[in-house]
Each structure stands twice: as structure tokens, then as C-alpha cells.
């Protein structure tokens, strides 16, 4: 639900991705009883997953700094 609140994505895209990340040991899963129907599956980030997350965040920050620099240079060239 939290993902869907931020970006438009279907469940058909999310669950295969979660299965793959669990198979690669970035997540563990557990079932929890629900008061509304069957038990629910929850995903928990592993230490390996947390390390991978930090690596991806660093890569994203480096990428976005580069894009922001290109935009800034482009805006400055338009103003001249």
C-alpha cells in the first residue's frame, strides 16, 4: 500500500520482485494471523538487504547529483 501511495505500480509487478529479492536473501518472510481473513505474509529486510539498500541509495545519490549538475549547466546556458 505504501508503495502504491508514492508511485503507480500494480501488484503483478510488486510480488514477483519481492519473491526474487527474497530468493536472493535480501528479505525474509513470515506469516502473521489476520483478524480479516487468512494469514498475511510480511517481508523483513535482512542485513544483506540493508547493505544492498545503502549501496543503491549511494548510487542513486551519485546519479541524481550528476543529473542535477547537467540541469544546472543547461539552465545557465539558456540564460546566457
pLDDT tens digits, the chain, 80 residues: what are they?
777 788 888 878 888 999 999 999 999 999 999 888 999 999 999 999 999 999 999 999 999 999 999 999 887 777 65
Report the pLDDT value the prediction gives residue 45, as an integer from 0 to 100.
96
d(CA 80, CA 69): 17
Q: Tell which residue, 32, 30, 28, 58, has the closest CA to residue 46.
A: 28
Decide yes or no: CATH 1.10.1020.10 for domain 1-45.
no
Amino acid at each position: 500500500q505504501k508503495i502504491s501511495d508514492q508511485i503507480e505500480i500494480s501488484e503483478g509487478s510488486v510480488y514477483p520482485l519481492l519473491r526474487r529479492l527474497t530468493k536472493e536473501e535480501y528479505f525474509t518472510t513470515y506469516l502473521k494471523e489476520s483478524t480479516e481473513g487468512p494469514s498475511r505474509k510480511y517481508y523483513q529486510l535482512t542485513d544483506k538487504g540493508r547493505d544492498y539498500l545503502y549501496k543503491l541509495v549511494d548510487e542513486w545519490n551519485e546519479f541524481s547529483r550528476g543529473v542535477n549538475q547537467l540541469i544546472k549547466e543547461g539552465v545557465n546556458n539558456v540564460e546566457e
